[in-house]
Amino acid sequence: MTTAAEFRTLLGVDVIESASTAPHLLPQVTTVLETLLAGGMDAAGVPRDDAVDAQYTGDGWLYAFPSALLGQAVDLGPALAPIVAEHNKWNKLELRLRLAVEVGPLPDGQGFHPSNIARARLLEAPAFKALARRCMAERPDGSMSTAIIVSDAVYQSVFRHDWARHARPTDFAELAVTNKEFTARAWVAVPGFDARTLAAFIAEDLPQASAPVEETDATRPGPVTSVMNAGENYGVQAHVINGGVVQNHRR
């Protein structure tokens, strides 16, 4: 019997340029990352025990949470930034993190599903990586600590309904992402840089990323019809999410 997919909040965390870490410091990465994430999730209100899936990747984590935690997952970016920066100030092992947040249906079974593929493409997008490196170069004192990318569906849902407590829509700059076969409109924020500065970096250093995504019938914004079954349901019920999304939410 096949279990119907439920909408999930998908979070990806990756250590920036982990390969450049000194070999004698590599054994510390796992423990330090765990500590930093625990502190950030506590500050953002993301209960790790609520994760329905958690996979360690070697230099990061992939999580799936209930969709009701979408706002808190976006809050993780600004909540983590001062925690990671404070660690880097006093420790030889310095970490900087990229985060990606997506929302979509995710079956219980392991496999290649569109939602977690989209999360991976966002997290590993060359334009996002390049922007993070540019921001690191602009802060030679090492104060740049986190960068977050969210899909357009996440951005519209969270900020239209005021679900975030730490993140602000004015912190995010639009970024057109192309990664392998994946093309999408996304939004990026780097604590310590305002949206105008990020947009200037994108236009100056990443002209190919700043070009708008070609609009088609599938990508043109429009209303989403939500069909809810009986019982508790806090997820978005849609296959392709563009434009306005109405989502039941419980804090």
Region of 62 (left: φ > 0; alpha: ψ -120 to 50; beta: rest) is: beta
Q: Nearest to residue 147, comparing CAs of 165, 164, 171? A: 171
Using one digit for the tens of pLDDT, what is the confidence trace for 1-39? 445 678 999 999 999 988 888 899 999 999 999 999 999
Rounded percentage of the chain residues whose pLDDT exceeds 70: 78
Using one digit for the tens of pLDDT, what is the confidence trace for 130-183? 999 999 999 988 889 999 999 999 999 999 999 999 999 999 999 999 998 889
Residue 251 exposed, middle or buried by CB count within 10 Å (0-12, 13-18, 19+): exposed
Give me the pLDDT at residue 106, please. Answer: 85
Give me the pLDDT at residue 3, please. Answer: 57
**In this predicted structure, which of 51-65, 79-93, 98-112, 212-226 has the lowest mean pLDDT?**
212-226
**DSSP string for residues in the chain:** -PPPPEEEEEEEEEETTGGGS-GGGHHHHHHHHHHHHHHHHHHHT--GGG-SEEEE-SSEEEEEEEGGGHHHHHHHHHHHHHHHHHHHHH-SS---EEEEEEEEEE-SS-S--HHHHHHHHHHT-HHHHHHHHHHHHH-TTS---EEEEEEHHHHHHHHHTT--SS--GGG-EEEEEEETTEEEEEEEEBTTB-HHHHHHHHHHH-HHHHSPPPP-TTTS---------SS---S---SS--S--------
Give me the pLDDT at residue 240, please. Answer: 39
CA angle 124/130/134 to nearest 5° reads 140
Cβ atoms of 118 and 102 within 8 Å: the answer is yes
More confident residue, 190 or 227: 190
* 75-97: average pLDDT: 95
Please name each of the domains of the chain with its CATH number: 6-210 (3.30.70.1230)
* 216-222: average pLDDT: 42
**In this predicted structure, which of 129-133, 172-176, 226-230, 245-249 has the lowest mean pLDDT?**
226-230
Give me the pLDDT at residue 110, please. Answer: 65
More confident residue, 88 or 212: 88
Reported as a pLDDT band with limits 50, 70 and 90, residue 113 is: confident
Reported as a pLDDT band with limits 50, 70 and 90, residue 232 is: very low
* 95-119: average pLDDT: 86
Tokens 């700043």: give the residue.
210
* pTM of the complete model: 0.80
* 211-235: average pLDDT: 41
CA distance 66 to 70: 8
* 57-85: average pLDDT: 96
C-alpha distances in Å from residue 113, one per residue of 57, 65, 104, 106, 152 = 17, 15, 10, 7, 18
* 214-230: average pLDDT: 40
